[in-house]
């Protein structure tokens, strides 16, 4: 602690100032962290253990510093403070933070960085989010879900499941949704209803009164043939949110806005939407993309596909429970010595 304060005064001051400005429960305890971190570094570096003649570990970065352990501590205590902040930890989370820091240090030391600066760069790049991602990947490897045969099975299932998602999106469009109109004063004061016809050829829409349930599609006065639609626009590309202010309300509207451009005589016209929620935005943009033959690239589609793939894969592998799945396919046997067993059944025997 004394070495850190004397040889890295700016980092030490930043550590103290950051924690003094936090709430009491979110303050990272410097003394306790330093003690536990010193114990942790001794465990990772096997300090105090007898030398082994058969050991293969060699860390060149420790030979480029006069006070290598102290310098490593200075880097590690700053890492601990950074991880504490990323985890938004409290005093009760101290042990969890130390576990993450242990993993960050162990993974980086295993890379055998050639210098302390390289170690600093690599360990700071290994954020809390990256540690979680690596844990998830390793867990999937242990479960076998990332084995090549499983990945191949998932790829074969994707087209069928994407077709199922596409069907669900189109059914949602056929059910229809109530949308709000936004006036020039940015007031959402009028409702209108839009749905897709059962034959998927026409968008039917019209105004509705507040407090009235969804109308019968046949009663809607306006129709837009799907064949006339040119493109689907979202966000700032939509004409009804373009060139507006950058306030919070406009940002919220922009995230839910989408439009379809279509042929209106010789001119291009737009049918503008403001989705009532982010989920409805994803469902409608996916459904319209499917109608136009474009890929469904929303976050909701990705989540639905991953969930369906996981469920379907587990169902297909029920009979293989506790059976190890090989990483590589079995070797192809050599060809037979002759092919006398092959017959052409179309030739009649004499």
DSSP codes of every residue in 48-65: TSPP-TT-----GGGGS-
Say how far apart CA 196 and CA 182 lie, in whole Å.
22
Among 130-144, 155-169, 267-281, 329-343, name the one with the lowest average pLDDT.
130-144
For residues 112 and 20, membership in a common domain is answered with yes
DSSP string, 7-29: H-HHHHHHHHHHHHTS-GGG---
Evaluate whether residue 160 is within a structural domain.
Answer: no
Most confident region among 11-25, 52-66, 178-192 by mean pLDDT: 11-25
Average pLDDT over residues 318-328: 72
For residues 95 and 172, membership in a common domain is answered with no
For residues 8 and 135, membership in a common domain is answered with yes
Evaluate whether residue 324 is within a structural domain.
Answer: no
Evaluate whether residue 322 is within a structural domain.
Answer: no
Evaluate whether residue 208 is within a structural domain.
Answer: yes
For residues 176 and 75, membership in a common domain is answered with no
Q: Residue 184's closest CA among 231, 243, 232, 248?
A: 243
For residues 134 and 171, membership in a common domain is answered with no
Evaluate whether residue 44 is within a structural domain.
Answer: yes
Average pLDDT over residues 58-78: 85
For residues 239 and 284, membership in a common domain is answered with yes
For residues 76 and 174, membership in a common domain is answered with no
For residues 280 and 204, membership in a common domain is answered with yes
Q: pTM (2 decimals)?
A: 0.55
Say how far apart CA 34 and CA 330 lie, in whole Å.
53
Please determine, for residue 189, whether its predicted confidence score (pLDDT) is greater than 70. Answer: no
Evaluate whether residue 91 is within a structural domain.
Answer: yes
Evaluate whether residue 34 is within a structural domain.
Answer: yes
Say how far apart CA 129 and CA 126 lie, in whole Å.
8
Residues of the domain holding 264: 167-300
Q: How high is the pLDDT of residue 337? A: 85
For residues 121 and 187, membership in a common domain is answered with no
Tally of domains in the chain: 2
CATH number of the domain bearing residue 272: 2.30.29.30
For residues 174 and 118, membership in a common domain is answered with no
Q: How high is the pLDDT of residue 247? A: 54
Q: Residue 85's closest CA among 5, 1, 18?
A: 18
Q: How high is the pLDDT of residue 105? A: 92
For residues 137 and 171, membership in a common domain is answered with no
Average pLDDT of the chain is 84
Cα angle vertex 278, ends 276, 283, to 5°? 90
Are the C-beta atoms of residues 75 and 23 closer than 8 Å to each other? no
Say how far apart CA 235 and CA 259 lie, in whole Å.
9
Evaluate whether residue 129 is within a structural domain.
Answer: yes
* Domain end residue (candidates: 141, 156, 187): 141
Give the tens place of pLDDT for each residue, 37-47.
999 999 888 88
Residues in CB range of 202: below 8 A, 6 or more apart: 196, 223, 224, 225, 226
Q: How high is the pLDDT of residue 190? A: 82
For residues 27 and 95, membership in a common domain is answered with yes
Residues in CB range of 288: below 8 A, 6 or more apart: 173, 229, 232, 258, 260
Give the tens place of pLDDT for each residue, 228-284.
888 999 888 888 776 555 555 567 778 888 999 988 877 888 888 899 889 999 999
């Amino acid at each position: 602690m004394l070495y850190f304060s004397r040889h890295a005064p700016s980092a030490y001051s930043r550590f103290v100032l950051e924690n003094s400005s936090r709430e009491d429960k979110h303050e990272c305890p410097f003394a306790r962290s330093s003690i536990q971190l010193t114990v942790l570094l001794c465990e990772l570096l096997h300090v105090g253990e007898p030398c082994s003649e058969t050991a293969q570990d060699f860390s060149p970065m420790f030979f480029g510093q006069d006070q290598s352990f102290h310098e490593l501590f200075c880097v590690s205590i700053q890492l601990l403070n950074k991880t504490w902040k990323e985890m938004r930890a409290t005093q009760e989370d101290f042990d969890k933070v130390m576990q993450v820091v242990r993993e960050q240090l162990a993974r980086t030391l295993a890379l055998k960085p050639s210098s302390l600066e390289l170690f600093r760069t690599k360990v700071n790049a290994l954020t809390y989010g990256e540690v979680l991602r690596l844990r998830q990947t390793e867990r999937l490897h242990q479960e076998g879900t990332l084995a090549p045969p499983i990945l191949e099975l998932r790829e074969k299932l994707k087209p069928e499941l994407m077709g199922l998602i596409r069907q669900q999106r189109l059914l949602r469009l056929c059910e229809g949704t109530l949308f709000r109109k936004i006036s020039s004063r940015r007031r959402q004061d009028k409702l209108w209803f839009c749905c897709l016809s059962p034959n998927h050829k026409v968008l039917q829409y019209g105004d509705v009164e507040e407090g009235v349930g969804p109308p019968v599609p046949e009663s809607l006065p306006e129709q837009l043939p799907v064949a006339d639609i040119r493109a689907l626009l979202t966000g700032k590309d939509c004409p009804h949110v373009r060139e507006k202010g950058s306030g919070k309300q406009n940002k919220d509207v922009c995230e839910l806005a989408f439009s379809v451009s279509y042929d209106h005589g010789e001119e291009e016209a737009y049918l503008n939407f403001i989705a009532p929620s982010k989920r409805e935005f994803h469902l409608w943009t996916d459904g319209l993309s499917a109608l136009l033959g474009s890929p469904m690239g929303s976050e909701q589609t990705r989540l639905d596909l991953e969930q369906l793939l996981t469920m379907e894969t587990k169902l297909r592998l029920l009979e293989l429970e506790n059976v190890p799945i090989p990483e590589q396919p079995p070797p192809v046997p050599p060809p037979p010595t002759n092919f006398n067993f092959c017959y052409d059944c179309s030739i009649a025997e004499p």
